[in-house]
Amino acid sequence: MRQTISQQLMFAQTLSAALETLINQFLRYNLHGTRALKPLSEKTLTVKLAELSFPLSFSVSDEKIHVTTNDEHYNCCLITSISTLIELKKEQQLTDLIKNDKLDIQGDLKVAQRFADIAQTLDIDWQSELAKRIGDVPTYKIGLLGRQLLNKLSFAAKQIPADASEWLVHEKRLIITAAELSYFSRDVEHTEQQTADLNQRINQLINRISKLS
């Protein structure tokens, strides 16, 4: 039985190990501690994503989350895609997503909601954690640098599309504006109307000539 390269390289196990480490590190640094995990003790949430060929199960025990790729036992199972998972942040969309077959939920929905609550209430003081390791001054400088970088990135994120649009529409005239498209559509509609009127007029004249002859 041949296995795919992803199976041979054990991508599923690598991903689950990485996720498990990441999640538990986040929980370790969470200002609210791991108290939120207690109601979920020994509960399992399984997520089957369209983009992945294997499931991911998140089980809680001893103030830790274990990630496995086994879906034999779960309390709640979400069958969806990554993009839908992002949309799930808005609770009011839940019904629409289920109706549109973008999401299937099996088992106890409360378990999934509690996992989502934990993710939303994560509060990590990165600066304090970093300062413990590298000291206050380097942390301050890294923080300052990070903020400056973020500001620049945010500015660039707005400016680059604006500049590109300006260049394409006005300088090179490769793309027309929405207003121009609207005017063009209105003119086409007007011409269409005039043509229809003219057509009707011609038909009337032909009828009249045929009656006279």
Q: Which residues bind another protein (CB under 8 A)?
A: 3, 8, 10, 12-14, 16-17, 41-42, 44, 59, 61-62, 64, 66, 68-70, 72-73
Report, in Å, the least distance between residue 18 CB and another protein: 11
Alpha-carbon distance 211 to 213, whole Å? 6
- The residue among 27, 13, 65, 23 whose CA lies nearest residue 44 is 65
- On the 0-12 / 13-18 / 19+ scale of CB atoms within 10 A, 83 is exposed
- On the 0-12 / 13-18 / 19+ scale of CB atoms within 10 A, 114 is buried
User: Is the Cβ of residue 17 or residue 181 nearer to another protein in the bound state?
Assistant: 17
Report, in Å, the least distance between residue 16 CB and another protein: 7
Report, in Å, the least distance between residue 29 CB and another protein: 19
User: Is the Cβ of residue 61 or residue 193 nearer to another protein in the bound state?
Assistant: 61
- On the 0-12 / 13-18 / 19+ scale of CB atoms within 10 A, 171 is exposed
Report, in Å, the least distance between residue 57 CB and another protein: 9
User: Is the Cβ of residue 42 or residue 91 nearer to another protein in the bound state?
Assistant: 42
User: Is the Cβ of residue 17 or residue 176 nearer to another protein in the bound state?
Assistant: 17
